[in-house]
Each structure stands twice: as C-alpha cells, then as structure tokens.
Amino acid sequence: PVNSIFSFFRIARLARIARVARLTKILRLTRLFGLTGKLHKNAKKFLKTNGLIYLMIVSLIILIISAILYSLAENEPLGESFWWAIATATTVGYGDISPHTAIGKLAAVLLMFVGIGFIGMLTSSLTAFFTHGEDENEKIFAKLEEIERENIELKEAIKKLKH
C-alpha cells in the first residue's frame, strides 16, 4: 500500500510539470501576439511613409502588365515572362531571356525605369522611416525637459509659500 501512495505522488509531480509546461507555452504565445502587434503597427507606419504602399501597388501592376505584354509579344510562357519581368525590374538582368521585338523592348524600358524608381523610393522611405523615429525621440526629450523645468518652478513656488 505504501508503494502505491509513493507512485501516486510521482504521477502528481509529473502532472504539475505538465501544467507548468502548458503555462510556458501560453506565455510564449501571448508574447508572440505582442510582437506581431508591434510588427504590424511598424509595417503600417513604414508603408505609409512617402506613400510607399501606392508605389508598390503601381509597380506591381506595371510588372504584371509588362510580363503579359512580353509573353504575348515574344511568344513566351507566362511563367518565363514573370521571371524576365522581375529580373528586369530589379535591375539584375541575368540575360537568359531578352526581348527581340519592339513591344518587348518597350516593356523592358518601362520595367527598367519602374525598377530603378522603386528601388530609389524604397531607399528614401527607409531613410525617412528611421530618421522620423529620431525626430519623435527628440520631441519626447524636449517635452521631458519642459516638464522638468515646470517641476523645478513648482518646487520653488512651494518653498516661497512655506516661508
């Protein structure tokens, strides 16, 4: 009978360990939700910087139109056309596929300008996003200094009232 009591306590300990393990999983999950919330907020703020979201949409539309145009003009499969369009827009240009018709070359020039413009806009948006954060920090520090000055003035006023 005594051995069965000890085995019960062993099982109870294992059950407690399992509960603690479940609790840590829940805590990790809540931390993950907090992190995704911060990432979502920062991503929205980044996409609104300099109207980057609109540039991305327009660039994607031009990429799709150019790929379809290239596919029709060069008699290439649509998958190969998208590969060509992405390689051209990102200014990589592997050279494995190149346009031979006037319409294909026109689509290539359009994509080259869009790709260069998009990369420039992305770079300026990144710069603006990070430097804007520094501006906010400076505003916060200025506000803290103002509050500190007001606090000192209030302390002096209280001392005058006491005397």
Residue spans per domain, the chain = 2-162
State which H helix or E strand residue 94 sits in: none
Whole-angstrom distance between the N-terminal and C-terminal Cα of the chain? 81
* Residue 90 confidence (pLDDT): 85
pTM for the whole thing? Answer: 0.55
Position with higher pLDDT, 77 vs 138: 77
Question: From the CB of residue 76, how many other CB atoms can be counted at a distance below 10 Å?
Answer: 18
Mean pLDDT value across residues 22-37 = 65
pLDDT at 71 > cutoff 90: yes
Residues 6+ apart with CB under 8 A from 132: 49
**81 pLDDT band (50/70/90 cuts)?**
very high
* Residue 75 confidence (pLDDT): 92
The proportion of the chain whose per-residue pLDDT surpasses 90, expressed as a percent, equals 23
H helices of 49-101, in order, are 52-74, 78-89
Mean pLDDT value across residues 54-70 = 89
pLDDT at 114 > cutoff 60: yes
| CATH class of the domain comprising 2-162 | mainly alpha
pLDDT at 2 > cutoff 70: no
* Residue 15 confidence (pLDDT): 66
Residues 6+ apart with CB under 8 A from 105: 99
